[in-house]
């Protein structure tokens, strides 16, 4: 099966100079097999299905390095209930997430997947406990996924809350079992569109024993790992109180840091910790929207300078990576008092190529020959995309969800002309509203 996408501007990589015109992009099976001058199409690929993308651009789809689809349930509530950034921690408690049934839970997960696809995400790392319960439903969306099964073993209290950290070894055992089961059933599924990752919750939620067990399993399976790191000042205080060190040093002491680790947040961090994380070439998932909502910001340029890879994630905010890119760029400019850096080319690279690499796929996140056919078609014939002096800059500064017309993952369309093909949009949105209304009582 060959698909030829014609007449579009092809954003091969991150740079303005790498926008290719008057060429046709060829998809064969799961790969971008060729990018050829239009004049050669009939000679070389007369059998391909033709897609006319005149007035449009082909961009790489986004890699969302950190999300929790189920937390769509907390929309409209958690955004305004962040913990305190100064003692006493954690400050005014937020509402508990209501208990809902497995079936209801599944709808909220699909709502997150739906929203992701509509905003141009092609690859996401979903972090949660108990992914097995909804793995089949969410993988049917057609998204490329790292299913990162999470484990924590802190018995009393939660992340960012003070108190003596005591481990429940049974939870470690159960967590490792869940990780192994998920790996056996789903890792490598559908041409490796689905892979499994291993998640520790947070330094103040995971004992040295649990970190060791996850790291040992990671080395055995050769997969990516993840953790919420230096997320809150309450976490930092808690690690100092319990272990007499800082969160990143605590992870270093217990051999958790490595180059296949995606560390989410990294906001409440000392220079020494940034340097340590950089030394291990770990990825920082820059979750800009949730960082901004909490009134916190990671030192992205410094972390990158020390050797960290920078990816981007939505966390439990809008599953909209266009906003994540834009907000991340603006936050860094405000933080560093610099009106030119980071440049949109760089931010686009964080949200695409870097993310793919960090989530374990080397040949993805670019539109080059041999790359995975994970791409989006964006309508440029709209006021906010004109004039087209620099379409990458426009995409980062001005892009909107509705610009995304079609989404392809692994050579297959999962959204075509705004229709999400594998999910029932109307049903999911209506059900999600009903579920939330019942759960919260609003």
Q: Which of 32, 50, 30 is nearest to 42 (CA)?
A: 50
Q: Of the ranges 25-33, 307-315, 331-339, 410-418, which one interacts with Zn ion (CB under 5 A)?
A: 307-315
Q: Is 319 in the site for Zn ion (CB under 5 A)?
A: no
Smallest distance, Å, CB 322 to Zn ion?
A: 20
Shortest spacing between CB 124 and Zn ion, in angstroms: 12
Look up residue 72 and give its two tokens.
């769509």
Q: In the numeric block, which tokens belong to residue 62?
A: 């986004």
Q: Considering only residues 30, 235, 315, 319, which one is a binding residue for Zn ion as defined by CB under 5 A? A: 315
149 scored as a contact of Zn ion (CB under 5 A): no
What is the total count of residues that contact Zn ion (CB under 5 A)? Answer: 1
Closer of 235 and 315 to Zn ion (Cβ) = 315
Question: Least distance from C-beta 71 to Zn ion, angstroms?
Answer: 8
User: 327-346: which residues touch Zn ion (CB under 5 A)?
Assistant: none
Tell me how many degrees the CA angle 321-371-414 measures, rounded to the nearest 5: 50
Nearer to Zn ion, 315 or 332 (CB): 315
The piece of 35-43, 149-157, 172-180, 309-317 that touches Zn ion (CB under 5 A) is 309-317
Whose Cβ is closer to Zn ion: residue 139's or residue 285's? 285
φ and ψ at residue 123, rounded to 5 degrees: -140, 130
DSSP state of 78: G
Q: Compute, in degrees rounded to 10, the torsion defined by CA atoms 4, 6, 10, 12.
A: 30
- Which of helix, strand or coil describes residue 31? strand
Binding segment (CB under 5 A) for Zn ion, from list 9-17, 314-322, 359-367, 433-441? 314-322
- The encoded tokens of residue 124 equal 């996401």
* Contact between residue 202 and residue 152 where contact means Cβ atoms under 8 Å apart: yes
Q: Which is nearer to Zn ion, 26 or 200 (CB)?
A: 200
Q: Which of 105, 123, 176, 160 is nearest to 314 (CA)?
A: 123
Decide whether 72 or 394 has the Cβ nearer to Zn ion: 72
CB of 315 to Zn ion, least distance (A): 5
Least distance to Zn ion from the beta carbon of 232, Å? 11
Nearest distance in Å: CB 331, Zn ion:
17
Could you list the beta-strand ranges (E) of 235-372: 261-265, 283-286, 309-312
Task: Please give the Cα distance from 299 to 359 (Å, whole number).
Answer: 21
Part of the chain binding Zn ion (CB under 5 A), chosen from 147-155, 191-199, 249-257, 313-321: 313-321
Question: What whole-number distance in Å separates Cα of residue 56 and Cα of residue 82?
Answer: 40
Q: Which is nearer to Zn ion, 161 or 315 (CB)?
A: 315
DSSP 17: G
Q: Which residue is nearest to Zn ion (CB)?
A: 315
Angle at 435 between CA 68 and CA 159, to 5 degrees: 35
* Residue placing its CB nearer to Zn ion in the complex, 104 or 315: 315
Question: Applying CB under 5 A, which part among 28-36, 159-167, 272-280, 311-319 lies near Zn ion?
Answer: 311-319
Beta carbon of residue 313, minimum distance to Zn ion (angstroms, whole number) = 8
Shortest Cβ 290–Zn ion spacing (Å): 8
Q: Are 9 and 54 in contact (CB under 8 A)?
A: no
CB of 314 to Zn ion, least distance (A): 9
Q: Which tokens belong to 325?
A: 């890119």
- Closest to 224 (Cα-Cα) out of 116, 145, 109, 159: 145
Give residues in contact with Zn ion (CB under 5 A).
315
């Amino acid at each position: 099966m060959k698909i030829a996408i014609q007449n579009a501007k092809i954003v091969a990589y991150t740079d303005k100079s790498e926008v290719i015109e008057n060429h046709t992009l060829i998809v064969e099976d799961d790969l971008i097999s060729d990018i050829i001058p239009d004049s050669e199409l009939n000679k070389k690929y007369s059998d391909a299905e033709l897609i006319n993308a005149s007035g449009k651009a082909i961009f790489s789809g986004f890699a969302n390095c950190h999300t929790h689809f189920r937390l769509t349930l907390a929309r409209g509530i958690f955004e305004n209930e962040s913990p305190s950034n100064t003692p006493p921690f954690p400050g005014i408690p937020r509402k508990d997430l209501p208990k809902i049934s497995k079936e209801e839970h599944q709808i909220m997960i699909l709502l997150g997947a739906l929203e992701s696809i509509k905003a141009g995400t092609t690859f996401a790392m979903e972090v949660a406990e108990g992914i097995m319960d909804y793995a089949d439903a969410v993988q049917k969306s057609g998204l490329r996924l790292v299913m990162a099964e999470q484990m924590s073993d802190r018995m009393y209290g939660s992340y960012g809350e003070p108190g003596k950290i005591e481990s429940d070894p049974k939870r470690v055992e159960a967590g490792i079992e869940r990780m192994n089961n998920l790996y056996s059933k789903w890792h490598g599924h559908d041409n490796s569109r689905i892979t499994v990752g291993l998640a520790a919750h947070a330094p103040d939620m995971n004992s040295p024993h649990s970190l060791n067990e996850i790291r040992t399993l990671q080395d055995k399976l050769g997969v990516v790992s993840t953790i919420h790191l230096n997320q809150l000042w309450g976490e930092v205080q808690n690690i100092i109180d319990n272990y007499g060190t800082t969160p990143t040093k605590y992870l270093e002491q217990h051999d958790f840091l490595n180059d296949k680790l995606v560390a989410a947040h990294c906001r409440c961090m000392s220079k020494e910790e940034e340097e340590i994380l950089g030394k291990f070439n770990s990825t920082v998932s820059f979750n800009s929207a949730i960082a901004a909502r909490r009134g916190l910001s990671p030192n992205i340029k410094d972390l990158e300078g020390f050797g960290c890879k920078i990816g981007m994630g939505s966390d439990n905010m809008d599953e909209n990576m266009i906003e994540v890119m834009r907000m991340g760029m603006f936050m860094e400019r405000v933080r560093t008092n610099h009106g030119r850096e980071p440049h949109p080319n760089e931010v686009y690279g964080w949200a695409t190529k870097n993310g793919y690499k960090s989530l374990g796929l080397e040949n993805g996140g670019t539109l080059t020959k041999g790359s995975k056919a994970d791409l989006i078609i964006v309508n440029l014939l709209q006021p906010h995309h004109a004039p087209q002096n620099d379409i990458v800059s426009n995409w980062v500064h001005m892009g909107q969800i509705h610009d995304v017309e079609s989404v392809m993952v692994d050579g297959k369309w999962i959204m075509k002309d705004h229709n999400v093909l594998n999910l029932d949009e109307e049903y999911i949105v209506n059900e999600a509203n009903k579920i939330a209304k019942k759960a919260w009582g609003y």
